[in-house]
Amino acid sequence: MVLFLGFQNKPIIMKKQLLLVGVATILLSCTSPMQRNYSKESYKTDLEAIKEELDPPSFLLLAGTLVRLEFEEVPLDTMTYAEILEHGKKWQAEQDRKRKSELGDRHDRRRNYPYH
């Protein structure tokens, strides 16, 4: 009887192990594509998955940031797509700030010009 119970426990342990492996696989496959590191080999498929996750303005900002950082020769393979997008948002905010500052200066010059 003990021998029979011993054989009965092995399939249960194996089922638990298979279940654990299955759950781990599902959890790992469900990670956001934004958390993946940039790779020249897989960026096309990554961007297709990311396009489904992001709204259009954010996706365009991510794509534009990828092009800009490649052009600036920034090493992207150490960055995740989320970090690249965050870099793009910071850059865009800085550009908006500069643009507002320049427009403010022009507006002040026109206002102070005697013949407007």
pLDDT of residue 14: 66
CA 28 to chain CA centroid, Å, is 16
One digit per residue, the tens of pLDDT, for the chain of length 116 reads 444 555 555 666 667 776 666 665 555 555 789 999 999 999 999 999 999 999 999 999 999 999 999 999 999 999 999 999 999 999 999 999 999 888 776 655 556 656 55
pLDDT of residue 1: 47
Tell whether 67 is covered by a domain: yes
Tell whether 31 is covered by a domain: no
Reported pTM: 0.63
Tell whether 90 is covered by a domain: yes
SS3 37: strand
Tell whether 92 is covered by a domain: yes
Instruction: Say if CB 62 and CB 81 are below 8 A apart.
Output: yes
pLDDT of residue 30: 56
Tell whether 63 is covered by a domain: yes
